[in-house]
Structure 1
Amino acid sequence: MPLVRNPVLPGFHPDPSIIRVGDVYYLATSTFQWFPGVLIYQSKDLANWELAARPLDRKSLLDMRGHPDGAGIWAPCLSHDGERFWLVYTDVRRKEGSFKDTLNYIITAPCITGPWSESSYINASGFDPSLFHDDDGRKWFINMLWDHRRRKNPFAGIVVQELDPATCKLIGPKKNVFHGTEIGYTEGPHLYKRNGWYYLLTAEGGTQYYHTCTLARSRRLWGPYEVHPDTYILTSKDDPLAALQRAGHGDIVDTPDGKTYVAHLMSRPIIQRRRCVLGRETSLQGAYWGEDDWLYIKGAPVPALSVELPGQRDDSAYWAKRVYKFGTGLELHSDFQWLRTPEPERIFSINVNDGLKLIGREAIGSWYEQALVARRQTHFSYNAETVLSFSPTDEREFAGLTAYYSRFNFFYLAVTGTDHGQRELRIMSSQASFPNGNLDDPPVALPVPVPKEGKVRLALEIRLDKLQFSYALGSEESLEKIGPVLDASILSDECGGPGSFTGAFVGMACSDLNGTEKSAIFDYFTYEPVHYKYDRY
């Protein structure tokens, strides 16, 4: 079989849930505070994936305005019972402190593109839920249990309870069937049945550098569950030099001819500070069932950078330049997402005669409503560019190009105004980018005056951990650098503060703090991958 290089889904694609229906594989990943919620990809060969659905796409299913960074949609589980697709997911509304508000829901659909049903609320006792369809027709809801009384380790085990498919309500007794291993932080459960055994695959060790996939099994659904003889079937925690780090949170899938694979999240750190700007990505590993009826990863528990898959991937598409010309259609390309709001008409529109119009709302760091449209960073090094028309009246109106991780971690080259109504370019940034982390420090760069009218071309280039902004006043003019080289490595999970789980994005934004809905028009957006040293794809 062809040898394919991991990850199969580069950039921010964590918590994979994978299934096969007939000869088609489906893979769902978390989206956290980015809207629409949940990305579902499909493939016929495990090597080439295309986006098939973004099911949480309306207000009745998801409204994340006010959700903190790192909250929102965690760890969806996609399954199929022979008739319908079932999607189980958590909407995290509060994640810091002793309590967590982790609301679990289920939706269903006759096919992957929908229509998806309205949601059924299940519980809020923990997160990372999954659904197991037993061979007797019964359905079982599984999720980790959060115990706020346990101050050192509130991860209190894996709970199983029956689900009534007619009412989508939990029925009957519930039982904590697995308390995890000594590494703790037991979450991300998936349940399977094979040769009379119930297998429970969990994620442990936290989703940083001690992450694992832990397997246990029992002859009875209710347990007791014995742990795999190797405990962790997949982990990078003992190999700091492995190319794929932070490996864990997996799911198992079989091919039609009986081969077995494990989809799992992982990260690829850059520089010696081991920062993961691409966030948590999705890879595949070959696996096999031993004579002892235990699952083993081929080669070793440490995930391999390359894997044999049924299909061959043409990596030229990965390295191709993306040019998004706004106005050629009325739909925003599915590469783009926005933050939190289920009412995109309040933050952007596309007009055939104009382009992409961003309607100025709150500041770029808001947890409520901001006009920010962006796509994932999927390469360690790339160039991005856009052209905008924007006529600010003062410093409270700004629009431009942003490299964005969260409200605490972003860089933003914006066209804005002055007290006298003139236009200028200013590099805006999160507090983390100031030399000593103090708001009293000097600005990142002095503002650059620009003419009061006319389009402005904005660009950035990222080379691993270095970011450089540039600009031009005409489409034919050469780009001119603005500001110093900035530390792009802060756009990473490691720098996002507690509960940072996403990845870097790049895109366009517009704010109007005067409340007049001042709009910016963007003609196009380009994303150009760049081959650069140390690129591990």
Structure 2
Amino acid sequence: MNEEHMIKNPILTGFNPDPCIIRTGDDYYIVTSTFEWFPGAPVYHSKDLINWTHLTNILTNVNFAGNPDSCSVWAPALSHHEGVFYFVYTDVLRSKYPFKDAHNYLMTSTDILGPWSDSIFLNSGSFDPSLFHDDDGRKWILNVEWDYRVEGRNKSTGILMQEYSNEDNRLVGPIYKIFEGTELRKTEAPHIYKVNGYYYLVTAEGGTGSTHAVTVARSRDIKGPYEVDPQNPMMTSAHNEELILQKAGHASLVSTQTGEWYIAHLCSRPVNGKYSILGRETALQRVKFTDDGWLRLADGGNEAQTEVKAPSLPYHPFVVDHNEHDDFLGESLHKTWNTLRCAPDESWCSLVERKGYLRIRGGESIHSIHNQHLIARRQQHLDCEVETSIEFEPQNFSQMAGLVLYYNTENYVYLYISHDENSGKCLSMMSSTWGEFQHKDLLISIEGAKVCKLKAILEGENASFAYACDDDDWKDLSGPISIAHLSDEGNGFTGNFVGICVQDLQGTKRYADFDYFTYVGK
């Protein structure tokens, strides 16, 4: 078959977990989780399920300062009904065992590009909301039941459902527990679809790690009881460590205008089978309904595939703009850039103070969950190279600017320019590995240099670094170091980012000017 008629997985590379897919007319949209990264909830667009483009972000007027790592925006869900887009999401303020300080909200818009309404509060204490529009006009919110009294780390005890009143903008009526889950446990990410008189409840089970799975149950009554697929799980990678796509789960369902069915789901491509440095990504699988009405992978079995047959739709590529080389010549940051917890603003992140440069003023430490002055982009390739050029004149050791590989406040590698009492302007490195801080044995004087270029070469679970001052040749730093800790395993949910940042721990907002940033995938 012609290559252009195959879907290549993952379709959304790098940190893009918890996909929710919908179709309106000839347009397909996927929204994914962003946790502490801003802007929240990216929307990806396709016409053929093969080619995808980052269209917009929904959560652009939020501030999550103070929220811990891997909190904030969890598992958003899109739906569309009678000309209106509905968007529901969880804002997790804290997720410290055994509780979930989480609040669920709904927003609406008549255009996927916005403007979006203010957030409407739904409920608290749970997560993974979704909205189902029944054909009788009623609307139902589903979410996880979280019971702190349950033994074990995961307290998910099933799926709850409550009616939503469009007129009153709130939940009304009794709460129904429609699903207890299966022996796979850790039941979450509920979505309901009505097909041929059945309500199909699609959930994630097994946890979002190596035992992740997709569970399907059905009922003639939306309130249940729900019968579980006798061949459950419908999809999983748990039994086969050799599969390229691991952690398959958290699925949502869509039908094409040609009557074909697909699920979007999260997956991971662990480095050496161990470390999900790219985070959880998004893939598509072709599915079908069997003669007895169960949802199954179209090619049989229950393993996620790296290539699947595309639907019978016109091929529709988009203009590619991966921002591989950013000269910072635009009036605003390119959409590939992200910041932590809140929007960048002119007070610390300026493209106009010095034309052709990005000026970043120093913020709080790299451990801060309030005012980190850092911009970064997703690592989308297992092997890649990043480079930047910096002009920075620090006056003391508490002022830093440089190139960062960043997973979260407890896992990063930071090559930076600072000032030492003996060496003057210098190059140094720090890291944090699963919460253990280390100031590396690296101190290179670059006193007198105006420009310092920094480079990181990421190859699987290792990274090597180099620098060049002014017009000098590149000089390699010490040998490769492990970046296995910049992965989901034992850390959180976000995958690795690569970027630039500036700190001024004295609060004087010392600035650094960045001439460019390149990202080249291999």
TM (norm. structure 1) is 0.93
C-alpha displacement of 1:365? 1.7
Query: 1:495 Cα deviation (Å)?
Result: 4.5
Q: Which one of the candidate residues 355, 360, 364 is aligned to 1:362?
A: 364
Q: Is the 8 A contact 1:164 1:171 kept in 2?
A: yes
Partners of 1:125 and 1:222 in 2: how far apart? Answer: 21
What is the aligned counterpart of 1:477 among 469, 472, 479? 472
Distance of aligned partners of 1:305 and 1:313 in 2 relative to their CA distance in 1, 3 Å threshold? farther
Tell me the residue number matched to 1:506.
Answer: 498
CA distance in 1, matches of 2:456, 2:481: 11
Which 10-residue stretch deviates more, 239-248 or 305-314?
305-314
Q: Distance between the aligned counterparts of 1:431 and 1:237, measured in 2? A: 27
The 1:141/1:470 distance shift into structure 2, 3 A limit, reads same
Give the deviation of 1:408 after TM superposition.
1.1
Aligned to 1:375: 377
**1:264 & 1:249 partners in 2: Cα distance?**
5
Q: Residues 344-359 of structure 1: matches in 2 within 5 Å?
A: 344-351=345-352, 353-359=355-361
Q: 1:20 aligns with which of 20, 23, 26?
A: 23
For 1:42 and 1:138, the matched residues in 2 are separated by 28
**1:346 and 1:131 mapped to 2: Cα distance?**
39
User: Which residue does 2:507 correspond to in 1?
Assistant: 515
Secondary structure of the structure 2 residue equivalent to 1:112: coil
Matches for 1:245-260 after TM superposition, within 5 Å: 245-260=246-261
Shift of 1:343: 5.3
**Alpha-carbon distance between aligned partners in 2 of 1:411 and 1:313, rounded to the nearest angstrom:** 39
Matched to 2:477, the amino acid is I
C-alpha contact (below 8 Å) 1:268/1:276 kept by paired residues: yes
Give the superposition deviation at 1:341: 1.8
Post-superposition CA distance 1:18-55 (Å, at most 9, x none): 00000000000000000111011111001111111211
Paired position in structure 2 for 1:306: 307
Aligned to 1:47: 50
CA contact (8 A) 1:80 1:86 kept: yes
C-alpha displacement of 1:421: 8.0
> What whole-Å deviation, never above 9, does each CA across 1:84-123 have from its counterpart, x for those lacking one?
1000000001011221111100001111100011000111
Q: Do 2:52 and 2:318's aligned partners in 1 also have CA atoms closer than 8 Å?
A: no
| Equivalent-residue separation in structure 2 for 1:345 and 1:13 (angstroms) | 28
Secondary structure of residue in 1 paired with 2:131: strand
Match of 1:234 in 2: 235
Unaligned runs of 5+ in 1: 531-537
Q: 2:278 matched to 1:275?
A: no
Give the match's secondary structure for 2:368: coil
Q: Could you tell me which residue of structure 1 aligns to residue 325 of structure 2?
A: 323
Q: Is the 8 A contact 1:356 1:523 kept in 2?
A: yes
Alignment of 1:456 onto 2:459: no
Greater mean alpha carbon deviation, residues 486-495 or residues 113-122: 486-495
CA contact (8 A) 2:47 2:316 kept: no
CA distance in 2, matches of 1:517, 1:140: 49
Counterpart in the other structure of 2:37: 34
TM-fit CA distance, 1:485: 1.2
- Displacement of 1:420 in angstroms is 5.5
Q: How many Å separate the matches in 1 of 2:317 and 2:57?
A: 25
Deviations 1:197-220 (A, max 9, x none): 111000000000000010000000
Inter-partner Cα distance in structure 2 for 1:317 and 1:334: 13
CA distance in 2, matches of 1:93, 1:363: 21
User: 2:204 touches 2:249 (CA, 8 Å); kept in 1?
Assistant: yes
> Aligned partners of 1:41 and 1:142: how far apart in 2?
23
Residue correspondence of structure 1 range 378-527 to structure 2 within 5 A: 378-419=380-421, 422-432=424-434, 443-474=439-470, 476-496=471-491, 500-527=492-519
How far 1:484 moved relative to its partner?
A: 3.0
- TM-score, length of structure 2 as denominator length: 0.95
Please, which runs of 5 or more residues in structure 2 have no aligned partner? none
Shift >4 Å, 4+ stretches: 311-318
Q: Within 5 Å, which residues of 2 pair with 1:80-95? A: 80-95=80-95
Are the counterparts in 2 of residues 98 and 151 from structure 1 also a CA contact under 8 Å? no
For the 8 Å contact 2:384–2:519, the answer to whether it is kept is: yes
The amino acid of 2:450's aligned partner reads G
In 2: Cα distance, 1:123 partner to 1:421 partner: 56
1:201 aligned onto 2:196: no
Q: Distance in 1 between matches of 2:127 and 2:175?
A: 16
SS at match of 1:231: coil
Alpha-carbon separation, structure 1, partners of 2:265 and 2:193: 16
Q: CA deviation at 1:482?
A: 1.6
Letter in 2 for 1:177: I
Indicate if the aligned counterparts of 1:52 and 1:112 stay in contact, CA closer than 8 A.
no
Structure 2 equivalent of residue 189 of structure 1? 190
One-letter amino acid matched to 1:179: E
Task: Encode CA deviations 1:455-511: one digit per residue, 9 max, x unaligned.
Answer: 11111101111101110002x432111233110221100142xxx011110000000
Instruction: Within 5 Å, give how 1:144-163 maps onto structure 2.
Output: 144-152=144-152, 153-163=154-164
Q: For residue 167 of structure 1, report the CA deviation from its aligned partner.
A: 2.4
Count matched residues.
514
Which secondary structure state, in structure 1, belongs to the residue aligned with residue 122 of structure 2?
strand
The question of whether the paired residues in 1 share the 8 Å contact of 2:349 and 2:359 is answered with: yes
RMSD (Å) for aligned C-alpha atoms: 1.8
- How far did 1:313 drift? 8.4
Amino acid at match of 1:482: L
2:102 is paired with a residue whose SS is strand
Q: Deviations over 1:390-436 (max 9, x none)?
A: 11011100000011111111111100011358200001111449xxx
Aligned to 1:175: 176
Instruction: Answer yes or no: is the 8 Å Cα contact 2:15–2:281 preserved in 1.
Output: yes
Alignment partners' CA distance in 2, 1:448 and 1:313: 51
CA–CA distance in 2 between the matches of 1:214 and 1:399?
47
1:154, distance to aligned residue in structure 2 (A):
1.5
- Partner Cα separation in structure 1 for residue 240 and residue 268 of structure 2: 14
Matched residues in 2 for 1:314 and 1:238: separation? 36
Amino acid at match of 1:3: M
Q: Distance in 2 between matches of 1:44 and 1:313?
A: 6
Q: Give, in angstroms, the shift of residue 452 of structure 1.
A: 3.6
